[in-house]
Amino acid sequence: MTKKATLALAGGEVFEGISVGAEGETVGEVVFNTAHTGYQEILTDPSYAGQLVTFTVSEVGNYGIHRGDEQAETAQVAGFIARRVCKEPSNWRSQETLPQFLARNRVVGIEGIDTRRLVRILRSAGAQQGIIDSTGASAKALVERARKAPGMEGQDLASKVSTRAAYRWEQGVEGRAPQAKKHEVVVVDYGVKRGILRQLVDIGCSVTIVPSRTPASEILARKPAGVVLSNGPGDPAAVVGADRQARDLLGKVPVMGICLGHQILSLALGGKTYKLKFGHRGANHPVRDIIGDKIDLTSQNHGFATDERSLQGKVQVTHINLYDGTVEGIAAPDLKMFAVQYHPEDNPGPHDSRYLFRRFLDLIEGGR
């Protein structure tokens, strides 16, 4: 039996569809992802906290859900939006359907809407607050509630999704034998994906994850060979103490930043960040590696970017997005630091950027 659901945008547009997953109401920033696969990784990525994710592919759920591919213990998105959801997946690894996964994780969703029209609105007007409802509330009331919902700017969501206590991570990439442990690495958890932790294990790192607000002095007291500042959600300028934490680490230990970690390092070096109109979210974004003189197809998920002009004379820009020219990577060789705006762990997406973990290892071992 199907149940009606409504998606209402702060801009006033309303979409009628069918409820999928948990029933109820949820509010968040409406964004879109262009990846054709990897919906399980997307739904469990902590960087999507507070967001209603629209999948642009015509149907999702075709290969079901495999417990082991998730990027966090539970789903992290605020809501789910799709054109059509497959109810009978076909894959030998599948352990449950996508609707069952959404219901189990209490994710409110809607399907059966014109996602092409929705994406055109978001591209023209920008990402905006929205609400998914299956309780039967009026469209007018939903639009008003969406308009009153707080936006992403000024929100420290990273501190909310971060671990509350330090822990160890031992698991590598499934099907690959990890190397012998050679280096102790600390990962600052702003919303870290498990794919990042698995890649670090695979290159021979012993990995400890610490909460986002851990002072640099406590991190350095662990005597790590290197530190990774992870991905995460929300406004980088709003993450409490993060720029000071990063500034106190620079020059004392090799540092790698990923996504939100890249933005935080930019702030620590005196740069500025700003909100993109509709963000970069997908597995097909071309990035030019200026240092390596090559092009990588990358997996991306961010709504903020670093202002290149604010970095002039402070840091080296190493990567550029070929869609819009935004900064995708920075480095400060004298401080043994580099960072990228995209996701080198390829969950989901291409493998082009895995070399960055080797670059981090070279930095730890004294290479450039």
In whole angstroms, what is the distance from residue 328 CA to residue 193 CA? Answer: 19
Q: Say yes or no: 185 and 327 in one domain.
A: yes
In whole angstroms, what is the distance from residue 18 CA to residue 83 CA? Answer: 10
Q: Say yes or no: 11 and 90 in one domain.
A: yes
- Tokens representing 238 are 């709003």
Q: Say yes or no: 116 and 194 in one domain.
A: no
183 is catalytic: no
Token match 């996602």: residue? 115
**pLDDT at site 368:** 46
The residue from 41, 70, 328, 345 that is catalytic is 345
Q: What is the tens place of the pLDDT at every residue in 185-219?
A: 999 999 999 999 999 999 999 999 999 999 999 99
Range of the domain at 16: 4-148
In whole angstroms, what is the distance from residue 329 CA to residue 306 CA? Answer: 9
308 is catalytic: no
**pLDDT at site 192:** 98
Q: State the total domains in the chain.
A: 2
Residues 6+ apart with CB under 8 A from 314: 269, 270, 271
In whole angstroms, what is the distance from residue 351 CA to residue 136 CA? Answer: 44
Q: What is the tens place of the pLDDT at every residue in 147-185?
A: 999 999 999 999 999 999 999 999 998 777 767 888 999
302 is catalytic: no
- Judge contact between 64 and 91, C-beta under 8 A: yes
Q: In the listed set 148, 178, 209, which residue is the last one of a domain according to the structure?
A: 148
The residue from 183, 262, 319, 343 that is catalytic is 343
**What pLDDT tens digit does each residue of the chain (368 aa) get?**
799 999 999 999 999 999 999 999 999 999 999 999 999 999 999 999 999 999 999 999 999 999 999 999 999 999 999 999 999 999 999 999 999 999 999 999 999 999 999 999 999 999 999 999 999 999 999 999 999 999 999 999 999 999 999 999 999 987 777 678 889 999 999 999 999 999 999 999 999 999 999 999 999 999 999 999 999 999 999 999 999 999 999 999 999 999 999 999 999 999 999 999 999 999 999 999 998 899 999 999 999 999 999 999 999 999 999 999 999 999 999 999 999 999 999 888 888 999 999 999 999 998 54
Q: Say yes or no: 67 and 173 in one domain.
A: no
Q: Say yes or no: 239 and 350 in one domain.
A: yes
Q: Say yes or no: 174 and 261 in one domain.
A: yes
The residue from 259, 280, 302, 328 that is catalytic is 259
**pLDDT at site 367:** 55
Q: Say yes or no: 103 and 235 in one domain.
A: no
**CATH number of the domain within which 129 lies:** 3.50.30.20
- Judge contact between 61 and 112, C-beta under 8 A: no
DSSP state letters, 338-359: EEESSBTT-SSS-STTTHHHHH
Q: Say yes or no: 183 and 238 in one domain.
A: yes
Q: Say yes or no: 90 and 192 in one domain.
A: no
